[in-house]
Structure 1
Amino acid sequence: MKKKRNSSFAIPYGTSHSNSISDESPRMNRQTISSSTKMGLVNLRDLVESSAHRWYKENEKDTMKAKWGKTYNWKELIKEIDWRSLKVRHDPVIYTDIETPGTPKNHILFRSTFLNDTNREQEYNLKAERRTVSRCAFSIFEGYTTEQCASLELEVPLPKCVLEASTGFRREYTLEQSKDKQIEEELTWSVESNITIPCMSQTTAELVVQEDEYHGTFEIKSYFFGEIRVKVYKDSQELLTLEFGDLEDLFPRDKGFRKDTRGLYRVTRGECRARFGVSQKVELHAKLLPGADLYIRQSQQQNSIDQENDSRRNSLKDIPSITAPLTIHREIVNGTNT
Structure 2
Amino acid sequence: MNYFAGTLSDRYGRKPVLLAGWLAAVPVPFMLIYGQDWAWIVGANVLLGISQGLTWSTTVMMKLDLVGPSLRGLAMGLNEAAGYLGVAATALATGYLASAYGLRPVPFLLGAVFIALGLGLSVVTLRETRGHSLVEARAHVDAHVHAHGGLTDLQVFTLTSFRDRSLSAVSQAGMVNNLNDGLAWGLFPVLFAGAGLSLGHIGLLAAAYPAMWGVGQLFTGAASDRWGRKWLIVAGMFTQAVGLGITAASHGFGPWLAAAVLLGLGTAMVYPALLAAIGDVSHPAWRARSVGVYRLWRDGGFAVGALLSGLLADVYGIPAAIAAVAAVTAASGLLVALRMRGNDHAPR
The answer to which structure has the higher strand fraction is: 1
Structure of higher CA gyration radius: 1
Length-normalised TM-score, structure 2: 0.20
Larger helix fraction of residues? 2
Return the TM-score normalized by structure 1: 0.20
